[in-house]
Amino acid sequence: MDTDHDHVDELLAQWGEERPELDVHGLAIAARIIRLQRFLDRRTQSVVSGHGLTIGETNVLAALRRAGAPHTLTPTELYRSLLLSSAAMTHRLDRLEELGYVTRARADHDRRQIRVSLTPDGLEIVDRVMDAYTAQLSGMLATLDDARRDELERSLRALLCTLEVDEAPRAPASPA
């Protein structure tokens, strides 16, 4: 197996033949990120499915776990943090509630507000899944030495910081 050339190199060579004037620098990076995401999804899905979950369901449980005790957030806080629609979040919460991993209850201070909380079973499963999940990711990145991993992380962070600022919700302009 050739470890100096990847599938994207083949695509770029084809574009070079067909459209030599085309600036493919952005494509070279984006196509690799997209392909990496597909590999990551397949391999991490195999880890979480071994626990009877999807990646999306795991992301919800992980968001609640990261929130700290009492591991409770509103559905709005969840869907905003996970960049989901309200409907997608409702579907995931329905499934996680059926599995006994989350509960939904009205907030004491505002009966209109719903709070989603991890159950003890939810806390146990998310910790087990995250142990396996992070081990899988670390193993996948083990081919990179520490310096390359650190540089990749810094570069991706810089790109994401720019994109997140560009995509941040803006306050509506005040009428003139």
Span 24-82, pLDDT tens digits: 999 999 999 999 999 988 888 989 999 999 989 999 999 999 999 999 999 889 988 88
- Residue type at 41? D
Provide mean pLDDT across the span 128-149: 92
Q: How many CB atoms lie within 10 A of CB 149?
A: 14
User: d(Cα 103, Cα 108) in Å, to the nearest integer?
Assistant: 15
| CB-CB contact of 94 with 88 (8 Å) | no
Quickly state the pLDDT bin for 176 (edges 50, 70, 90).
very low
- For β-strands 114-118 and 102-106, DSSP reports them as antiparallel
Q: What percent of the chain has pLDDT over 90?
A: 64
Q: 73 has which bridge partners?
A: 116
pLDDT on residue 30: 93
3-state secondary structure (DSSP) of residue 42? helix
pLDDT on residue 174: 41
Beta sheet of 72-73, edge-to-edge order: 72-73, 114-118, 102-106
Burial of 50: CB neighbours in 10 Å, binned 0-12, 13-18, 19+: exposed
- Residue type at 125? I
The predicted model scores a pTM of 0.77
Domains and CATH numbers, the chain: 1-49 (no CATH), 53-141 (1.10.10.10)
